[in-house]
Amino acid sequence: MTSLNAIARRPLAAVPRLVRGAAAAGSRRVQPARRGRAVAWLTALAVVFAVVLPVAAANQAPSRTLSGASTLFNNPSGIALDASGNTYVSNWNSSANRVVVFAPFANGNVAPTRTIQGAATTLNQPRGIAFDSAGNVYVANEGGNSVAVFLPTDSGNVAPSRSIFGANTGLSRPMGIAFDTNDKLYVTNSNGNTVGVYDAGATGNVSPASTISGANTGLSGPRSAAFDVSGNLYIANETGKTITVYPPGASGNVTPNRTITIVSGPEGVAVDHSGTIYANLTGSNTVNVYAPDANGAATPIRTISGASTGLNLNVNLTVDASGYLFVTNFGANSVTVYAATCGNGVALPTGQWQTLALPCVPDAPTVAGTLGTSPTANLPAASYGSQWLMYKRDLSGSAYGTLAGTSPLTLGAGYWLKSLQAPVAGLLKVAGSATPVTTGVTGCQSANGCVLAPVYAAGQPLGTKLIGNPFPYDVDWSQVRVRVNGIDLYTPSQAQDANLLSNQIWVWNGTGYDTWSDTAPNQGSLPYFKAFWVKVLPGGAGQTIELLIPAEVSTVGAPTPGTDEWLVRLRAGNVQGGWNTQVRLGHWTDAATGYDAADLSAMVPFASPYVTLAFPQPTWGTRKGDYVSDFRPVDGQAGQWAMDLRADPVGSQVVLTWDGDPAILARSRLLDGATVINLANYPNGYPLTLSGKVRRLVWEYLGADN
């Protein structure tokens, strides 16, 4: 295998270049969005980036919060997510007795999409919620000593499709509820210190198929139940101040495999896909997080606790497949959602340069300590310099420097990484504590707080700067604010109009740049675990420029075209090599025949191998150059878009694919030289081999079909 020593000696491109004309920006001064208190550059550096040591407790702000009158929360208790990501929340207060359902990524003071409430529902102080394999909704009624079963689409004052109730059931203040892989239902009985197990489809006054009960079980005020991926059962015992763990199929007076003892009694328990255990400590407004093998008086690997968390009599919790933690706050009438402290990691294609940013504060803040922790995780530290290597480009200069294995890694900085071997466990991960945020900052677009990321200071060279996304999730670029001299605040587009900072970001995907702005139809996000380029414009000279990056999960999706607007996205890729690039074209409101704000400039590829698509625009005067989007006026007229497909090495196998409104695609075709490509004949894309580094293609729209 080729060594990286030669790569280490080879100079990288000093500055990723924009094509000619792409950096041009107007000099019109705009009114700043808002004003805030001046903060010195060095002070910002010290406050925001000085925290590099692990902490025992994380005052972690939620990435989303559901709260407010529209949510209909009234002592929210149980919580569960269905297979589509909808959030179900039970409201325990007897004046409410309802279950409310929210769409995926719901945030703020939003109304539920459905509500199950009314006399017919039989809901009575509802607590735990769970789903069987068919998606039916099971709700434990603490006040009714019953389990009500609703259909997946039920709404309103609807009667349950089935109910488990009566003396034979053994239900006595049922609170927790969970299913094993055989669709057997497990229900905790807080009054009886038992767990009843019911067969799939159980209904009526039915006896449990088995029961976990007796002195050996350690059950004492059992509140909630959860399963791990191996089928082990976890019970939170509020009175006993323990979490007891039982093997699959446990029944009778069985002794737990493990017992985690906790100072404060847990109300809720959840286990994520990796086996990490989460315990809700209601009395102390805390969530303890334990290692998968925790036992006895185990020390939490981290905690969520403090004023920024929003926790207030936190009762129940659940973890989704992406590692997001959902917590009901009985005392605050809210649901708070927390990103996995460092996220779930990313794949690392071999032999390709990748950008990297720390999504949290690493426990061991060096190159080898963070990314080369052991032979069984990430990349072996011993092979650093021969099999993998990292570079950093300082904001104060335009040159790259090679990092040593002992070099510190900094939150908010952007790095380059190349490896000739895949991570041992398949994903590149960081272990650490939550990113510290500053709350109450004027201009911050999230109540959760912001990170102040330095971009430019007087005396530094203008041009492109590599910045790191400091959070374990994507962040909406349109919600980032540009702060100048600690006072003036701008949206990215306002900063561009003021000739301070481009409103574009460029994100290297391994073989090409994805390019986004803060407005439709090109709105994009700062990606998880990656760095992104911004460009300081001439008007920024002599100023201090920072980004206020909000602690808020991005909800950016595909743009929704308005009347007579349309958008087609073209992608070029190599499946075997993982290559991909994209451009966007169409008709959009306020677009022009020549350059307009919806036309985003391209950036020259960082390194080979690469594949790019670009619209060359040699006739756009001072704006001439290559672009990754080209939108025209909304006029229904026919038109052609010439584009260059470029790849290195020569001979690359590439497939061109497209997506958009079927009606628009039906009126479009692809021209490859003299060959006319009927899109309908290539449902899986148009394959081609590049005999040179550039292939000219033309997308033709035949006009509206009147």
Domain presence at residue 559: no
Domain presence at residue 129: yes
Q: Which residues pair with 278 in a beta bridge?
A: 270, 289
Spatial neighbors of 249 by CB under 8 A, at least 6 apart, are 231
Query: What digits encode the pLDDT tens for the residues 280-310?
Result: 999 999 999 998 889 999 999 789 999 989 9
Q: Which of 479, 563, 461 is nearest to 523 (CA)?
A: 479
Q: Which domain range does residue 231 map to?
A: 64-338
Whether 260 and 243 have beta carbons less than 8 Å apart is answered as yes
Predicted confidence at residue 577, as pLDDT, reads 58
Predicted confidence at residue 578, as pLDDT, reads 60
Query: What digits encode the pLDDT tens for the residues 477-506?
Result: 999 999 999 999 999 999 999 999 999 999
Predicted confidence at residue 508, as pLDDT, reads 94
Predicted confidence at residue 627, as pLDDT, reads 97
Residues 325 and 424 in one domain: no
Predicted confidence at residue 431, as pLDDT, reads 84
Q: Is the confidence at residue 242, as pLDDT, over 90?
A: yes
Q: What is the DSSP letter of 22?
A: T
Residues 75 and 170 in one domain: yes
Which tokens in the block code for residue 152? 């997946």
Point out the least confidently predicted range of 346-350, 366-370, 593-597.
Answer: 346-350
Domain presence at residue 561: no
Domain presence at residue 2: no
Point out the least confidently predicted range of 88-92, 521-525, 536-540, 572-576.
Answer: 572-576
Mean pLDDT of the chain: 88
Domain presence at residue 59: no
Residues 261 and 399 in one domain: no
Query: What digits encode the pLDDT tens for the residues 653-673?
Result: 899 999 999 999 999 999 999
- The domain spanning residue 245 has which CATH number? 2.120.10.30
Predicted confidence at residue 341, as pLDDT, reads 80
Domain presence at residue 459: yes
Predicted confidence at residue 576, as pLDDT, reads 58
Residues 330 and 389 in one domain: no
Residues 88 and 197 in one domain: yes
Residues 412 and 494 in one domain: yes
Domain stops at, among 309, 338, 367: 338
Residues 153 and 174 in one domain: yes
Query: What digits encode the pLDDT tens for the residues 131-157?
Result: 999 999 999 999 999 999 999 999 999
Point out the least confidently predicted range of 207-216, 474-483, 559-568, 573-582.
Answer: 573-582
Spatial neighbors of 449 by CB under 8 A, at least 6 apart, are 61, 308, 437, 438, 439, 440, 441, 550, 551
Spatial neighbors of 280 by CB under 8 A, at least 6 apart, are 236, 266, 267, 268, 269, 287, 314, 315, 316, 317, 327
Query: What digits encode the pLDDT tens for the residues 418-451?
Result: 999 998 877 888 888 889 999 899 999 998 889 9
Residues 37 and 160 in one domain: no
pLDDT band at 574 (very low <50, low <70, confident <90, very high): confident
Domain presence at residue 8: no
**Arithmetic mean of pLDDT, 680-687:** 94
Could you tell me the CA-to-CA distances from 669 to 636, 664, 672, 677 in Å, in that order? 16, 10, 10, 6
Point out the least confidently predicted range of 52-66, 398-412, 514-528.
Answer: 52-66
Whether 48 and 452 have beta carbons less than 8 Å apart is answered as yes
pTM, entire model: 0.69
Query: What digits encode the pLDDT tens for the residues 330-341?
Result: 999 999 998 878
Spatial neighbors of 169 by CB under 8 A, at least 6 apart, are 145, 146, 196, 205, 206, 207, 208
Domain count, the chain: 3
Spatial neighbors of 452 by CB under 8 A, at least 6 apart, are 39, 44, 47, 48, 438, 441, 483, 546, 547, 548, 549
Residues 391 and 332 in one domain: no
Predicted confidence at residue 226, as pLDDT, reads 98
pLDDT band at 252 (very low <50, low <70, confident <90, very high): very high
Could you tell me the CA-to-CA distances from 89 to 82, 121, 275, 277, 316 in Å, in that order? 11, 15, 24, 21, 10
Residues 41 and 183 in one domain: no
Query: What digits encode the pLDDT tens for the residues 15-42?
Result: 444 443 433 333 333 333 433 322 222 2
Q: How far apart are CA 292 and CA 274, in angstroms?
A: 7
651: left (phi over 0), alpha (psi -120 to 50) or beta: left
Residues 120 and 185 in one domain: yes
Domain stops at, among 552, 586, 614: 552
Q: How far apart are CA 279 and CA 260, in angstroms?
A: 10
Domain stops at, among 524, 552, 580: 552
Could you tell me the CA-to-CA distances from 380 to 55, 69, 351, 365, 373 in Å, in that order? 25, 52, 16, 16, 7
Predicted confidence at residue 273, as pLDDT, reads 75
Whether 222 and 195 have beta carbons less than 8 Å apart is answered as yes
Residues 257 and 405 in one domain: no
Query: In 27-166, which residue ranges form alpha helices assigned H by DSSP?
Result: 41-49
Percent of the chain whose predicted confidence (pLDDT) is above 70: 90
Domain presence at residue 437: yes
Query: What digits encode the pLDDT tens for the residues 343-352?
Result: 878 888 898 8
Whether 456 and 536 have beta carbons less than 8 Å apart is answered as yes
